[in-house]
């Protein structure tokens, strides 16, 4: 029982975390950067429509980002009513290999496992390769993977194929995928999934819907299975959020765990706010584009209500835009001011970021006065440090 309960939250979360991290990693123009989070939550669950349980879970995560590589490490400890406990951990990595301004390859992998009070354990590993077609706000991918799964002394080979696409508009993003999978020689099934997320300055809403079909044991007691879950995060402070989630999750056919349903309430503490992205920002290469009017100055000043005033000087410009990882690489239009200055006010927490500016819609460049780095798509960005006391 402990082993099955220990997999409940991780089953759906790690599957989508793998997809999200592989699709977003590394995010364009990402600098060497680290972020960490701690989650404390209470979970009420029912699996196999017959067993109810309550658990307290303490989880932690570490996110490391380089220009072309990203790694996500996570672990959790869950203690259940009755004294049972489970420990879980995972490591996800992805390397982006750009070919052109719109085409890229990716090599990635995921490994994870769990240990339980009764002495049982599980382990999984999967390596993947993908080809991506990327635009600024949309993309497609095709790929596959090979790996294995172990449950105590029993192991099976896993073969996995996938195709999908993503679309982003403003604060909303959607990703859809189809994933045929084969476990050992007998189990075959196909998962079709849809993931959506919407963010605002204080609220993040996300949800997953999925359907499984297949010729061999796609679910417990039937030939198909449908599931769905949703999560809402309210950021009560720049580094803290209250998270409510619930829904259903499918059978874990790789290890034989039954499906079920759950509801969870928790508190998330993070070194910086990080939103799970379902797709790359996909900024195309800019070095081949002609230069626009020069940018002669760049400043960031403190403003009321915790905001920052961005000032860019470009005499003769008709339009000036800014994008950075603090805007999720969405362009932000600046407002014309006197003497060639353009301004905008944004809420930016203390930390280290990357930022680019563009004049007249022509070429993204690093703002003057900042240390310049080259992103994996051939563009350039500047390292921006926002100083201040961490909250």
The 10s digit of each residue's pLDDT in 333-359 is: 999 999 999 999 998 888 888 899 989
CATH 2.60.40.10 is the classification of domain 297-386: yes
The reported pLDDT for the residue numbered 21 is 42
Percent of the chain with pLDDT over 90: 33
Query: pLDDT (tens digit, 9 = 90+) per residue, 32-60?
Result: 556 788 999 999 988 766 678 899 999 99
Q: What are the structure tokens assigned to 253, written together? A: 């056919």
d(CA 86, CA 119): 10
Beta bridge partners of 107: 95, 129
- Residue 24 · residue 139 · CB < 8 Å: no
Q: And the tokens for 378?
A: 């051939």
**Token representation of residue 356:** 């680019």
Which CATH architecture best describes the domain 2-270? Beta Barrel (2.40)
List, in order, residues 6 or more apart from 153 with CB less than 8 Å away: none
Q: Where are the domains of the chain?
A: 2-270, 297-386
Residues 84-108 as b/e (b if ≥16 CB within 10 A, e otherwise) read bbbebbbebbbbbebeebbebebbb
Distance CA 252, CA 229 (A): 16
Mind listing the pLDDT tens digit for each residue in 139-181?
A: 899 999 999 988 767 788 999 899 999 887 767 889 999 999 9
DSSP 8-state secondary structure symbol assigned to residue 277? P
pLDDT, residue 146, reads: 95
């Amino acid at each position: 029982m402990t082993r099955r309960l220990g997999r409940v939250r991780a089953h759906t979360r790690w599957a989508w975390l793998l997809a999200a991290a592989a699709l977003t990693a590394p995010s364009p123009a990402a600098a060497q950067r680290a972020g960490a989070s701690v989650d404390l939550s209470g979970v009420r669950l029912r699996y196999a429509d017959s067993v109810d349980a309550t658990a307290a879970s303490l989880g932690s995560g570490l996110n490391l980002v380089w220009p072309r590589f990203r790694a996500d490490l996570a672990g959790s400890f869950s203690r259940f009513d009755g004294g049972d406990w489970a420990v879980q951990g995972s490591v996800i990595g992805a390397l982006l290999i750009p070919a052109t301004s719109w085409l890229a390859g990716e090599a990635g992998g995921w490994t994870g496992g769990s240990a339980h009070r009764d002495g049982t354990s599980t382990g999984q590993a999967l390596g993947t390769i993908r080809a991506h077609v990327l635009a600024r706000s949309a993309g497609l991918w095709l790929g596959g993977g090979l790996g294995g799964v172990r449950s105590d002394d029993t192991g099976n080979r896993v073969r996995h194929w996938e195709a999908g696409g993503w679309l982003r508009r403003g604060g909303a993003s959607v990703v859809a995928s189809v994933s045929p999978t084969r476990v050992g020689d007998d189990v075959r099934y196909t998962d079709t999934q849809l993931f959506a997320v919407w963010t605002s300055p204080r609220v993040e809403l996300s949800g997953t819907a999925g359907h499984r079909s297949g010729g061999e044991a796609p679910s417990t007691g039937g030939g198909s299975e449908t599931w769905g879950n949703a999560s809402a995060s309210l950021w009560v402070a720049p580094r803290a959020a209250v998270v409510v989630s619930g829904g259903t999750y499918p059978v874990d056919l790789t290890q034989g765990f039954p499906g079920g349903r759950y509801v969870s309430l928790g508190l998330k503490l993070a070194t910086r706010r990080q939103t799970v992205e379902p797709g790359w920002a996909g900024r195309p290469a800019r070095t081949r584009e002609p230069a626009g009017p020069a940018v002669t100055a760049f400043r960031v000043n403190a403003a009321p209500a915790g905001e920052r005033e961005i000032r860019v000087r470009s005499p003769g410009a008709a339009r000036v835009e800014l994008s950075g990882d603090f805007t999720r690489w969405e362009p932000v239009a600046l407002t014309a001011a006197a003497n060639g200055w353009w301004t905008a006010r944004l809420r930016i927490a203390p930390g280290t970021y990357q930022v680019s500016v563009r004049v007249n819609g022509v070429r993204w460049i690093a703002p003057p006065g900042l240390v310049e780095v080259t992103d994996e798509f051939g563009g350039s960005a500047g390292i921006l440090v926002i100083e201040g006391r961490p909250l």
